[in-house]
Every structure is written in C-alpha cells, then in structure tokens.
Amino acid sequence: MKTLSALIAAAALFGGFQMFHGGGGESAAKEATPSSTYRLTANGDEGACRVKRGAEISGDLSLVLVAANCRRLLPGIERAKFWREQDDGTVAFSANGVDPIVTFSVADGDGYESYAPALPLLSLAATND
C-alpha cells in the first residue's frame, strides 16, 4: 500500500513539474523552430514582396512581419501584425489578431492562395531565406 501511495505521489509531482515548465519537449521544439519566410505574389507574379511569420503567441496566433512594399500588392496589408491559422488550414492576416485584412486557403503544393478579398489574387509561398 505504501508503494502505491509513493507511485501516485511521484506521478503527481512529475505531472505538476511538466505543467509548470511548458509541458515538455514539444513546446521547447516549437520555440526553437525558426520563423518561416514567404514570398507574397500578386496575380501570377505581377509583383512580389516578403512576409515573415514570427513567434507563436498562442496555439493558432503568431506574429507576422509584412514588408512595407507589400502595400503595392494589396493596400493595407502592410498593417498586418498577426498570422492566425484555423483548424481547416486557412490563414488570415490581421492588424488586431481578429479582423482579417486578407485570408488564404491552402494551395496546391507548398503555399497559400487568397480568397478574401477576391481581388487581387495573392499567393503566399515558403522560401528558403
């Protein structure tokens, strides 16, 4: 009986330690993952600029840095500060973390295509930068 009590106490202690220290290796791996860099293109390469996905704020919300010259592609997009990824894979850029400036769906291959607003059509493709 004492052994069972000791095992339960040890499991509770270990669980508490994991809870207060970020839940283990998975969160540490996410923190160590470098930011992703993307190339934002309008209407099949009429113009392009750089977008960088930054640190994760919460499970579905990250910081985003949109280059100032992206304004040529979609006026107002340069105000985006947040990247929100939904469960269905869609991604929205916003200035406040809630109201989208532009929303992307997963594209064929490695990237995203905008669907709101409908025009201009924007594509967001990962780069190796």
Q: What is the pLDDT of residues 86-117, one digit of tens each?
A: 999 999 999 999 999 999 999 887 789 999 99
Structure tokens at 22: 């970020």
pLDDT tens sequence for the chain (129 residues): 555 444 344 444 344 333 333 444 333 333 434 459 999 999 876 789 999 999 999 989 999 999 999 999 999 999 999 999 999 999 999 999 999 999 999 988 778 999 999 999 999 999 986
Same domain, 56 and 75: yes
Same domain, 20 and 66: no
Same domain, 7 and 60: no
Q: What pLDDT, on the 0 to 100 scale, is given for residue 43?
A: 85
Which residues form the domain of 99?
A: 34-126
Same domain, 41 and 26: no
Same domain, 8 and 54: no
Q: What pLDDT, on the 0 to 100 scale, is given for residue 20?
A: 36
Q: 36 pairs with which residues across the strands? A: 53
Same domain, 8 and 45: no
Same domain, 23 and 51: no
If you ran DSSP here, which 8-state letter would residue 129 be given? -
Same domain, 65 and 104: yes
Same domain, 44 and 100: yes
Same domain, 22 and 75: no
Phi, psi of 30, deg, nearest 5: -65, -40
**3-state SS, residue 61:** strand
